[in-house]
């Protein structure tokens, strides 16, 4: 075995022990079937580690920084998002394993296990929030376009940061109540699960309130209405970027394409709101 092949296998070995510890940590936090699946995969990763250890004759340390990163991500974005991100690394690992297949007998079984990991995880992991992904997507898109449009229009119509903030806050809270009620009634009519309407309404309300707070708060902090609007739009860009990334990872879609689509629609709403605000100011003073 060449030094290059040995170094590559040591990297595989480090990756396996790292994911063994990480999946085990996730399993301890999960419940029921999710915990069983994650523990099963943690055990598989440990077997892979020992397989590579027999070849290298060495122990290797896990990548602690990677473990810390993914554990933090899982607490913020949930199990499914974290596993999807890790799965992207496993796809690359499968490709890397195939590069040394003829020099390491048994590597094909490792590849099959990695494929089985993906199927088991994606097919069986259950997470309540993701059952309401449609409601969440609708809420984030509606809230951003609606509240941002209101803030932009009022900024050019009123030219007073505090007045814009108060008016946008009232409008945003009213929109939140209306959207929560609409989502509850919609889910109640469509879903057979008696808990689905309440949960969908809850996720919708949380997202709406978060967006309202992010867009409106700069108008209570900055005296200049243009400066406040600039910070508010910056917050919107950040929210859109993060949520689109979350959605693209979970749904397995192209991030840049999804971001471009959401950004284009939001920009169109903002531009129309700007025109309306300027028009109202010119007509009514």
CA distance linking residue 27 with residue 79, whole number of Å? 10
pLDDT one-digit tens code per residue, 190-246: 877 788 888 888 989 999 999 999 999 999 999 999 999 999 999 998 998 988 888
Q: Among residues of the chain, what percentage have pLDDT more than 70? A: 84
Closest by CA position to 163, among listed 214, 223, 105, 118: 223
Instruction: Note every long-range contact of 166-175, with CB atoms under 8 Å and residues 24 or more positions apart, other chains counting.
Output: 168/212, 168/215, 168/216, 168/219, 169/212, 169/216, 171/147, 172/147, 172/208, 172/211, 172/212, 172/215, 172/216, 173/212, 175/143, 175/146, 175/147, 175/208, 175/212
What distances in angstroms separate CA 144 from CA 77, 228, 253, 259, 267, one per listed residue? 20, 16, 21, 14, 11
CA distance linking residue 209 with residue 152, whole number of Å? 18
Question: H helices within 159-221, ranges in order?
Answer: 161-190, 196-221
Q: Which residue has the higher pLDDT, 14 or 100?
A: 14
Q: Which residue has the higher pLDDT, 268 or 115?
A: 268
Q: Which residue has the higher pLDDT, 141 or 110?
A: 141
Q: Looking at the predicted structure, is the pLDDT value of residue 111 above 80?
A: no
* Helix 255-284 and helix 225-251, axial crossing angle in degrees, nearest 10: 150
CA angle at 259 for the pair 256 and 263, rounded to the nearest 5°: 140
CA distance linking residue 127 with residue 243, whole number of Å? 17
DSSP string spanning 240-269?
Answer: HHHHHHHHHHHHT--HHHHHHHHHHHHHHH
Across the chain, what does the average pLDDT equal?
A: 83
CA distance linking residue 262 with residue 248, whole number of Å? 12
Answer whether 132's CB lies under 8 Å from 119's CB.
Answer: no
Q: Which residue has the higher pLDDT, 256 or 108?
A: 256
Sequence-separated (6 or more) residues with CB below 8 Å from residue 135:
183, 187, 200, 203, 204
pTM tops 0.75, yes or no: no
């Amino acid at each position: 075995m060449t030094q290059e092949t040995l170094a590559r296998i040591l990297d595989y070995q480090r990756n396996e022990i790292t994911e063994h510890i990480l999946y085990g940590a996730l399993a301890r936090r999960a419940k029921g079937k999710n915990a069983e699946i994650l523990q099963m995969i943690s055990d598989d990763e440990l077997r892979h580690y020992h397989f590579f250890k027999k070849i290298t004759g060495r122990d290797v340390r896990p990548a602690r920084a990677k473990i810390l990163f993914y554990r933090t991500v899982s607490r913020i974005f949930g199990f499914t998002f974290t596993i999807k991100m890790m799965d992207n690394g496993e796809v690359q690992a499968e490709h890397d394993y195939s590069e040394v297949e003829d020099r390491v007998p048994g590597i094909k079984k490792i590849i099959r296990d990695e494929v089985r990991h993906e199927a088991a995880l994606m097919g069986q992991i259950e997470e309540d929030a993701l059952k309401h992904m449609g409601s969440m997507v609708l809420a984030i898109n509606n809230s951003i376009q609606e509240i941002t449009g209101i803030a932009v229009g009022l900024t050019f119509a009123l030219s007073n940061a505090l007045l814009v903030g108060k008016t946008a806050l009232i409008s945003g809270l009213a929109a939140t109540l209306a959207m929560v009620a609409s989502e509850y009634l919609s889910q109640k009519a469509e879903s057979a699960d008696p808990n689905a309407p309440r949960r969908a309404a809850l996720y919708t309300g949380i997202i709406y309130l978060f967006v309202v707070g992010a867009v409106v708060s700069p108008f209570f902090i900055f005296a200049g209405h243009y400066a406040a609007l600039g910070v508010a739009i910056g917050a919107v860009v950040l929210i859109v970027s993060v949520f689109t990334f979350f959605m693209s990872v979970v749904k397995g879609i192209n991030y840049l394409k999804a971001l471009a689509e959401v950004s284009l629609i939001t920009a169109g709403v903002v531009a129309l709101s700007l025109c309306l605000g300027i028009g109202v100011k010119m007509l009514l003073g």
